[in-house]
């Protein structure tokens, strides 16, 4: 049981390049989330998917797109990376239906030069 | 004003001390309250989970929720160097709504 997995673990991009961060969970959870974590800012929600087939904006969605490919997978895409998107990105999943705990992946450290 | 406020610290205490970590919030609809622990360069892991008001104890950890004051606390007894981490409070209104995180408190336990 791997829980929540994220790839890649590290990535360096140049300004303007695009990339997709992958996330998968094997706990049959309904909801999945993408956060970014910056020093002193805590975890800020980028996008979330309450269930397969739905996605919604969070607190800081600008510059990002997401795809809930199926129940297991939720990807985050940066179409044109900017230095302000340098951060640590965490994916999380949650069962829902009264089980209100989130489980986090190990994170992706992204640097945009 | 942020929905959830948390003192960022850092907080440094000697081994064996009792640690008190706190968060305040403004949204009276919050009913689910969580504490996460995050070690350096790792993802957050759930430490305590409480529904509505009251106390919950798990080993050396006690979570308290005071909804009338919009104030939650995490107490760590007999603190150990392995407790050194960043602690994040989190809360939500329902199992279907977004979870809002505090900014985290960095804790260091001195041997």
B4 neighbors B99 (Cβ within 8 angstroms): no
Q: Other C-beta atoms within 10 Å of B82: how many? A: 8
**pLDDT tier for residue A100 given thresholds of 50, 70 and 90:** low
* Percentage above 90 pLDDT, chain A: 78
**What is the structure's pLDDT at A97?**
58
Residue B8 pLDDT > 90? no
What's the pLDDT at A112?
Answer: 96
Quick one: average pLDDT of A6-18?
A: 96
Residue-wise pLDDT tens digits, B11-57 = 999 999 999 999 999 999 999 999 999 999 899 999 998 888 889 99
d(CA A17, CA A6): 20
pLDDT (tens digit per residue) in B64-99:
999 999 999 999 999 999 999 999 999 988 766 778
Q: Is A61 on the interface with B (CB under 8 A)?
A: no
SS3 B58: strand
**Cβ–Cβ below 8 Å for B103 and A98:** no
Name residue, tokens 């800020």: A44
Sheet holding B54-58, edge to edge: B4-6, B19-25, B71-76, B61-66, B54-58
Band of the pLDDT at A36, cuts 50, 70, 90? very high
Residue-level pLDDT at B96:
67
- Among B8, B49, B88, select the one facing A100 at the smallest CB separation: B49
Q: Which residues of A touch B51 (CB under 8 A)?
A: 100
Close Cβ partners of B97 (under 8 Å, ≥ 6 residues apart)? none
Of the CA atoms within 13 Å of residue B7, those in its CB half-sphere come to 11
Q: To the nearest whole angstrom, how far is the Cα of B106 from the nearest Cα of chain A?
A: 10
pLDDT of residue A58 exceeding 60: yes
Neighbours of B35 (CB within 10 A): 23
| B34 contacts on A by Cβ (under 8 Å) | 100-102
pLDDT of residue A28 exceeding 80, the answer is yes
A34 neighbors B93 (Cβ within 8 angstroms): no
Q: How many CB pairs under 8 A join A and B?
A: 55
Task: Convert A90-102 to b/e letters by CB count within 10 Å (16 or more is b).
Answer: bbbbbbeeeebbb
Cross-chain Cβ contact A42/B104 below 8 Å: yes
DSSP A73: B
Q: What is the model's pLDDT at position A98?
A: 55
Q: Is the pLDDT of residue A99 over 80?
A: no
Mean pLDDT of the A87-107 span: 84
Count of Cβ atoms closer than 10 Å to residue A51 Cβ: 14
- A106 vs B: CB within 8 A: yes
Distance CA A102, CA B43 (A): 11
Higher pLDDT, B1 or A15: A15
Residue A42: strand, helix, or coil:
strand
Say what the pLDDT of residue A34 is: 96
- Residues B43, A105: C-beta atoms closer than 8 Å: yes
């Amino acid at each position: 049981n791997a829980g929540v997995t994220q790839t890649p673990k590290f990535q360096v991009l140049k300004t303007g390049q695009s990339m997709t961060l992958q996330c998968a969970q094997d706990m049959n959870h309904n909801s999945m989330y993408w956060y970014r974590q910056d020093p002193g800012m805590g975890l800020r929600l980028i996008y979330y998917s309450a269930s397969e087939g739905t996605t919604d904006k969070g607190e800081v969605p600008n510059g990002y797109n997401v795809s809930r490919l199926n129940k297991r997978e939720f990807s985050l895409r940066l179409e044109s990376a900017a230095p302000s998107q340098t951060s640590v990105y965490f994916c999380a999943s949650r069962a829902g239906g009264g089980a209100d705990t989130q489980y986090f992946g190990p994170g992706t450290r992204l640097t945009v030069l | 004003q942020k929905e959830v406020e948390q003192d960022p610290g850092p907080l440094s205490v000697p081994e064996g001390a009792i640690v008190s970590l706190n968060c305040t919030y403004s949204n009276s609809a919050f009913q689910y309250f969580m504490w996460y622990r995050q070690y350096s360069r790792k993802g957050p892991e759930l430490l305590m989970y409480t529904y509505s008001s009251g106390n919950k104890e798990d080993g050396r950890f006690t979570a308290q929720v005071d909804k009338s004051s919009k104030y939650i606390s995490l107490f760590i007894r007999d603190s150990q160097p392995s407790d050194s981490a960043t602690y994040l409070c989190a809360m939500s209104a329902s199992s279907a709504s977004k979870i809002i995180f505090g900014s985290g408190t960095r804790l260091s336990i001195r041997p």
